[in-house]
Amino acid sequence: MQEIFQKIFHIFQKRQFIPQLIVLQIIFFLLLLVIKTVCFLGGFSFDQLLFYVTLSTDWQKVIHYPWVLLSYGFVHVDFFSLLFYLFALYSLDTIISTILKQKVIQYILVFSFIFSACFLLVFCQFFSSLVNHYVVYSGGLGSVYLIFSLIFFLVPQYNFRLLGLKTVSIRFVFYAILLWLLLTFSLKNASHHIIILGNIVWGYFCSIFIKKKWTNLSTNFFFQKLNIKNRFCRKNGHSNDKILKKIEKYGYESLTPNEKYQLFKKK
């Protein structure tokens, strides 16, 4: 038990926001699980308790309980949705952390909860058929789609290995997600889809702002990568096109030490 607390303390000490968010999601899930068990044994209504931490399409609820604009992002009543969230967010953290500074990631994720919640409420005002007081469970899943869409908007040429098997363009996966949202919009609880759509819209707005301030918001490592092609072409012409193509296809990390030396050496 002491080792677990030490690891948690180490995560917060490193000041990496996504791992911290993952830990908080797990703690909140376990806390709700304990409360659910107590409610079951005591004969209380667990759903009545969830009312105070979940988001719905009712404006009156948001006005009376404004903290739901944040708390809904930590509610996972389904273990498998939490498992998917943890796996996906942890995988995307290795990518987004090489692109943006930790403070930027923190602000984007925190305000995404508020933006997507307001997006849902405004959206429902224009489409009255959706105003059925839907409740948003597993609201934190929107963060996964936010990070993914943010990577797409910032680095649309990015390729990654899908389940470690085949190299896939991020464009293909992003358009597949949009198609899935459209085809399944009318199924079950449409509020989840609107929350996801709100996160994608938020990711787009953030990407526009970030692109205007690359030098201040991106990591030094990624900013260096942005200038690799121009700098290299000025110094070496087109003598190492294979290295550039390898970077575009597999990323800078795929280069061997010798290729990195070749890339930055002075003529």
Contact 38, 20 (CB under 8 A): no
What was the pLDDT predicted at 113? Answer: 92
What was the pLDDT predicted at 182? Answer: 82
Q: Say yes or no: 138 and 195 in one domain.
A: yes
Handedness of CA 9, 14, 20, 22 (dihedral sign): negative
Q: Say yes or no: 132 and 245 in one domain.
A: no
Number of folded domains that form the chain: 2
Q: What is the 8-class DSSP label of residue 266?
A: -
What does the pLDDT profile of the chain (267 residues) look like in tens digits? 566 666 666 666 667 788 888 888 888 889 988 998 998 888 888 888 888 888 887 888 888 999 999 888 888 877 888 888 888 888 888 888 888 888 888 899 999 999 998 998 888 877 766 555 556 666 778 889 999 999 899 888 777 766 656 778 888 889 988 898 888 776 566 778 888 899 999 999 998 888 777 656 665 555 555 544 444 444 444 455 566 666 655 665 666 777 766 655 544
CA-based angle 261:265:267, to the nearest 5? Answer: 150
Closest residue by Cα to residue 55 from 134, 125, 162: 134
Contact 86, 22 (CB under 8 A): yes
Q: Say yes or no: 159 and 241 in one domain.
A: no
The answer to the question of residue 247 being in a domain is yes
The answer to the question of residue 184 being in a domain is yes
Q: Say yes or no: 193 and 236 in one domain.
A: no
Q: Say yes or no: 199 and 244 in one domain.
A: no
Strand segments (E) across the chain: 55-56, 135-136, 159-162, 166-169
The answer to the question of residue 221 being in a domain is no
What was the pLDDT predicted at 232? Answer: 44
Q: Say yes or no: 127 and 208 in one domain.
A: yes
Q: Say yes or no: 211 and 231 in one domain.
A: no
Q: CA 146 to CA 236: how far, in whole Å?
A: 38
Residue 171's contacts (CB-CB under 8 Å, 6 or more residues apart) are: 152, 156
Contact 29, 140 (CB under 8 A): no
Q: CA 123 to CA 130: how far, in whole Å?
A: 9
What was the pLDDT predicted at 190? Answer: 76
The answer to the question of residue 78 being in a domain is yes
Whichever domain contains 115, its CATH number is 1.20.1540.10
The answer to the question of residue 170 being in a domain is yes
Closest residue by Cα to residue 267 from 225, 239, 228, 226: 239
Q: Say yes or no: 78 and 149 in one domain.
A: yes
Its domain, for residue 254, covers: 227-264
The answer to the question of residue 193 being in a domain is yes
Q: Say yes or no: 192 and 234 in one domain.
A: no
Q: CA 77 to CA 50: how far, in whole Å?
A: 10
Q: Say yes or no: 158 and 57 in one domain.
A: yes
Q: What is the 8-class DSSP label of residue 160?
A: E
The structure tokens 């909860």 sit at: 113
What was the pLDDT predicted at 228? Answer: 45
What was the pLDDT predicted at 115? Answer: 93
**Residue 168, strand partner residues:** 160
What was the pLDDT predicted at 245? Answer: 64
Pairing of strands 55-56, 159-162: unpaired
Q: Say yes or no: 245 and 151 in one domain.
A: no
